[in-house]
Amino acid sequence: MSVRDATPPHVGTLTAGPRNAITDVAGVSVGHATLADGSVQTGVTVVRPHAGDLYRDRVPAAASVINGFGKSIGLVQVEELGVIETPIALTNTFSVAAVAEAQIRQTIAANPQCGRRLPTVNPLVFECNDGYLNDIQAMAVGDLHYRGACAAAGPDVAEGAVGAGRGMASFGVKGGIGTASRRAEVANGRVFTVGALVLANFGRAAQLILAGRAIGPVLAERLAATREDAAGGEGEAQEKGSIILLIATDAPLDTRQLRRLSLRSAAGLARTGSVFGHGSGDIALAFSTAYTLPQEAARPMPAIAMLNDALIDPLFQAVADSTEQAIIHALWRAETVTGRDGHRRQALLEVMPDLPSLLSERTP
């Protein structure tokens, strides 16, 4: 069996959903468009909270800025109104504007009165800087790639060096897209699903903690031996990478509770060795699929009983565990990529083929 076929370690005591992915939250789908051609190593990843028209049937959401070195679009209105009205898009830093324009055009095509009789749409695009592997100045991502990612959205989620994760790096090795889920039981036997999807482009090699094991020093030593840069996402001595953390749940939560949920992703992030470095844009967004909020005032608002705050702790644990697991999956599934000017990021399991056995050893 190839080392790539080894099963990643399971984080925590909660059970995962059947796919161990954000799409275990019913209705959520994920799609990628990947550009992998010489110096262009980038792409788009789209998360759709439901299969309908998000502009007309918005979902409740809230965000937490863990460290604000980022250039996302749409967070101000999410903070104010607490809703998502487009698919959530991930891409590289210089492609944010192009993807936001694609979201606006997509919304207008489906809703010709947007910006006329109906309100303007709030595009929602998150980014990380993939400029070490990707020729980010080429601004290769466009409308067709965003639309392609939307068209490809489904329940099965590819991980690693795909979509927006194609050119991303973490802990001196290849990073990218990772996802995971956890099932959380609250009072009276009610069970809810929490799913996480990350765009991992952060961390220095020596800092890496994987499933509770501080493997960073060994990783840094091996990278140094192969003359691979042991820095973070952008390949410099100071960490200047980022991570985007998306959290989905089917629990009936309001925007205040969703903000609290999004903040708990920082607990899972910290477990991997992140210190939320000065140049790292660490941004989390959480949304619920339990109900939708109509765009048009003539339509009735939902009448739904929210989860009591006293019952929310199991969801907090599910967020922390699924976030940590998603980061592990991003590292575990990624392949080696060579891009701009011959820059290269090796797969973690290529640098450390003995990692599965190291993790299976009993901690002294």
The verdict on whether 72 is a catalytic residue reads no
Q: Which residues lie closer than 8 Å to 300 by C-beta, 6 or more apart?
A: 294
Residue 229, pLDDT score? 55
- List pLDDT tens digits, range 26-71: 999 999 999 999 999 999 999 999 999 999 999 999 999 999 999 9
Query: Across residues 321-330, what is the average pLDDT?
Result: 98
| pLDDT at position 334 | 97
pLDDT for the residue numbered 6: 85
pLDDT reported for residue 114: 98
Q: What pLDDT shows up at residue 228? A: 60
- In this predicted structure, what is the pLDDT of residue 322? 98
Q: What's the confidence (pLDDT) of residue 206?
A: 95
> How far is the C-alpha of 301 from the C-alpha of 187, rounded, in Å?
27
- Identify whether the C-beta of residue 349 lies closer than 8 Å to the C-beta of residue 332: yes
At 184 the pLDDT is: 97
| Per-residue pLDDT, 238 | 58
Q: Which residues contact 264 (CB under 8 A, 6 or more apart)?
A: 316, 319, 320, 323
Q: What are the residue ranges of helices labelled H in 13-152?
A: 75-81, 96-110, 143-152
User: Is it the case that residue 194 has pLDDT exceeding 90?
Assistant: yes
CA atoms within 13 A on the CB side of 332: 25
Residue 110's pLDDT band (cuts 50, 70, 90): very high
Give yes or no for a contact between 171 and 208, defined as CB atoms under 8 angstroms apart: yes
Catalytic residue among 24, 229, 250, 282: 282
pLDDT number for residue 11: 96
Catalytic residue among 29, 242, 262, 265: 242
d(CA 53, CA 254): 21
If one counts every other C-beta atom within 10 angstroms of the C-beta of residue 237, the result is 10
pLDDT top residue among 290 and 233:
290
Gap between the Cα atoms of 332 and 33, Å rounded: 20
Cβ atoms of residues 283 and 245 within 8 Å: yes
d(CA 324, CA 270): 8
C-alpha R_g of the chain: 20
Residue 282 bears catalytic tag = yes
What is the pLDDT of the chain when averaged over all its residues? 94
Can you tell me the mean pLDDT for 129-152?
98
- Bridge-based pairing of strands 176-185 and 191-201 is antiparallel
Of 72, 181, 262, 280, catalytic: 280
In the residue annotation, 250 being an active-site residue is answered as no
Task: Please determine, for residue 213, whether its predicted confidence score (pLDDT) is greater than 80.
Answer: yes
The pLDDT of residue 241 is 80
pLDDT in tens, 230-288: 454 444 455 668 999 999 999 999 999 999 999 999 999 999 999 988 888 999 999 99
In Å, how far from its chain's centre is CA 18? 19
**Residue 362 pLDDT:** 58
Cite the DSSP H helix spans in the chain. 75-81, 96-110, 143-152, 216-225, 255-263, 265-271, 313-333, 348-351, 355-360
Distance separating alpha carbons of residues 170 and 196, to the nearest angstrom: 18
